[in-house]
Structure 1
Amino acid sequence: MKIIIADDDAMVYESLQLLLSREKDIQVIGTANDGAQAIKLCEASLPDVILMDIQMPGMDGIQATREIKKRWPQILVMMLTTFEDEQNIRLAFLAGAEGYLLKATQVQDMAQQLRALVSGSSVLHADVLRQLTQPKKNGLEDLTAREKDILQLVAQGCSNKEIASQLFISEGTVRNTLSIILDKLEVRDRTQLALYYWRRV
């Protein structure tokens, strides 16, 4: 099994490279410290699996996963991260990842999970599975009627100008209200906001 490790922490990828290389059936053929490098390595060497961190400078792991699965759908992506929130988990799988492990996973267990992934199984760390099966409360009930209207239009792909026109308010009011919505729902941007909406309605 040929794998690439993508992580911006040199200590992490060097340790993993050393430890996983001790497994007879695993060959670490490259390391990358951001998503763009991971894509270049895929183009050069076509690995079987990528161990992909989420938060990296430049192109993050979710963006890189989306691009890799579009260009090389046969390459398997195992997210390896400290993030176990529902949002990142769902975004990773929407991008095409087949597995999601936490960095706290023992290397021996990680090797077993990589083998399971290659054999055709989806892989989820127990804590990640618990997060998905016991999601947080909806959160939409905390929004005002106007905030819900704006959220719905964002989810439909409307721009701030289009939202302002439809609701007869200024673009500045739309921007300010969006900031409040993002804060209330604890999401980072419009894309995540739309995803949040559609998986709850």
Structure 2
Amino acid sequence: MRTIKLGIIDDSIFCRNLTKLQLMNVDSVRFDFVLEAESIADMETKVNQSEVPSLILLDIMMPGIDGISGIPIIKALYPNVHIIMLSDVTNQSIIRNSILAGAYAFVKKGTNTGDLVRIIRDVLAGKSYACPELIKSLFFGLQKPPQDRRKLSERELLIVHQLLNGLSFAKIASLIKTSIEKLQELIKRILIKLNISNQAKFST
């Protein structure tokens, strides 16, 4: 049976325990929670005390450093880790920003076990997800006047159309011969050119 080393960062001990209980009852794969923290700061104190996780389930709204701002910190400590946002947040801009910051997927807390396991497996297999909020923003961006669309280069238009066609970040990055990180920077540039706000304020 395959073993997947997971980390979970969430300020709610109830949510952490519920997620662990949910995933520990899966028959097809063994999840080993090698890192558990209640905040980004708490995670930093545990880096040398735990094994390196393959994937981290990360909450967004937490005291101190929010999840999105914490992504670069996590990446600096665990360069090869995959991050999935696991949150109750419904704000489209915040969800979109989490994907653009480097998360591979956004999953709503309470998602059924089968879907959560599938997403974890897919992400570890090299797939990444453009969240519906990002796709919706790009779709409406293309409905703007022609002069706005003309701001995009051929390469940027290709990226938008491939996202709208449902391709993952990994496939698009391969198609245009770049990294996922560079692709995310290109998408940020596209959002700015289309005057789509990707700024979000966080409360703790």
* 1:119 pairs with 2:119: no
Hey, what does 2:137 align to over in structure 1? 135
Q: 1:52 touches 1:78 (CA, 8 Å); kept in 2? A: yes
- Of 12, 16, 20, the residue aligned with 2:15 is 12
For structure 1, which segment, 99-108 or 8-17, has the greater mean C-alpha deviation from structure 2 after superposition? 99-108
Q: Percent identity?
A: 26
Using the size of structure 2 for normalisation, the TM-score is 0.61
Residues 39 and 64 of structure 2 are in contact (CA less than 8 Å); yes or no, is this contact kept in structure 1?
Answer: yes
Question: How big is each residue's C-alpha offset from its partner over 1:125-157, in whole Å with a ceiling of 9 and x where there is no partner?
Answer: xxx42x22223978xxxxxxxxxxxxxxxxxxx
Which sections of structure 1, spanning at least 5 residues, go unmatched? Answer: 139-193
* Aligned twin of 2:33: 28
Change (3 A) 1:199 1:91: farther
Aligned residue pairs, count:
142
Larger RCO, structures 1/2 (Cα 8 Å, 6+ apart): 2
Q: Which of 48, 59, 62 is the aligned partner of 1:53?
A: 59
Alignment-derived partner of residue 192 in structure 2: 198
SS in 1 for 2:137: coil
Note the 1:150-161 alignment, pairs <5 A: none
TM-fit CA distance, 1:6: 1.0
Q: What RMSD over aligned residues (CA atoms) do the two structures have, in Å?
A: 2.6
State the distance in 2 between where 1:42 and 1:107 align: 28
Indicate how the Cα distance of structure 1 residues 83 and 199 shifts in structure 2: closer, same or farther if over 3 A, else same: farther
The structure with the larger Rg is: 1
Q: Which residue of 2 aligns with 1:68?
A: 74
Amino acid at match of 1:118: L
* Counterpart Cα distance in 2 of 1:94 and 1:70: 17
Give the unaligned 5+ runs of structure 2. Answer: 142-187, 196-204
| CA gap 1:96/1:39 in 2 versus in 1, 3 angstroms | farther
The whole-number CA distance in structure 2 between the counterparts of 1:106 and 1:38 is 26
Deviation per residue, 1:35-65 (Å, 9 max, x gap) = 1223344443210000000000112111221
